[in-house]
Amino acid sequence: MLTSCTAVLHGNAVSYRRGGEGQAVVLLHGIGSTSLTWESVAPALAERHDVIAPDFLGHGASAKPRGDYSLGAFASGVRDLLQVLGVERATLVGHSLGGGVAMQFAYQHPELCERLVLVSSGGLGHSVSPLLRAAALPGSEWVLPAVAGAAGGLGAKVGGVLARVGLRAGHDLAEVGRGMAELGDREARQAFLDTLRAVVGPGGQRVSALDRLYLAADLPLLIVWGERDPIIPVGHGRRAHAAVPGSEMLEIAGAGHFPQLDDPAGFVTAVNRFIAGSEPWDYDPQRVRELMLAGAPAL
């Protein structure tokens, strides 16, 4: 059982859920989502670990200030929350946008990162759903309020649009619809657009970690993907897995963009096994320097 809590960081309220004891595991949600996206797996993970699941700024019950919604800012926010909570190091589990934040966290604050679990992660290629590309277009702020109103009950028109971009009835449709329903609030809508436009443009994802994945050669890495992900293609995960020879990859058959919801038991088993079977990353600045001097291998 996780408990809802609030921390104040730099004057802004940050909501998070926490439960369990043991090694710290931080669960990072995707864009337009909240810590509730982990509700089917967090209690089980908390049976073995100290689980912390924040709502990013601009999302859920956290504050929605005007400001920086870049991956770097989110990564710094995770660092600040861990410092306030007295957590020295953690395994980062990031879904979609949260995967990009997890990778940025490991890049900016490697001494705080023990392992990475990337779940249907952004930042590993340019392709992304037309739905997100369209939402990033100029002028979308005028359309989103109407879409949010219809999504409140997941109206037939909104459901039809989501189905046409590949979202099937089930967790994909429900989770995206829940996120869209939140966009009726002006501050939430602006934070969503600032976040989205920082990472996605009309041509696809703006940010990619592929050119720096070689620096993760010694970092324990598990990649989890839904085999039928309509938002970010599973090929992104396969390419990242090939680029990091020591990594592990789990493709969940029949799952979409939210594999932790489509197969919660399989997801928990995989994460627990990964943590138990890997030693925390021993960050070595000299080793990273050597890797950088050697240069990135061709992908």
**Separation between Cα atoms, residue 100 and residue 121, nearest integer Å:** 6
Q: What's the length of the chain? A: 299
Coil, strand or helix: which one is 9? Answer: strand
Tokens 């396969």 belong to: 238
Concatenating the DSSP letter of every residue in 157-226 gives: HHHHHHHHTTPPTTHHHHHHHHHHHGGGSHHHHHHHHHHHHHHEETTEES---GGGGGGGTTS-EEEEEE
Contacts of 269 (CB under 8 A, 6+ apart): none
Catalytic residue among 229, 241, 247, 262: 229
What amino acid is encoded at 48 in this protein?
R
Coil, strand or helix: which one is 58? Answer: coil
The bridge status of strand 24-28 relative to strand 12-19 is unpaired
Q: What is the DSSP letter of 5?
A: E
Catalytic residue among 15, 33, 96, 129: 96
Whether 211 is catalytic is no
Are residues 122 and 204 in contact, defined by beta-carbon separation less than 8 angstroms? no
Concatenating the DSSP letter of every residue in 197-212 gives: HHHEETTEES---GGG
Q: Which two tokens stand for residue 42?
A: 């967090």
Catalytic residue among 129, 257, 262, 263: 257
Whether 49 is catalytic is no
Whether 229 is catalytic is yes
Show which residues are catalytic.
Answer: 96, 229, 257
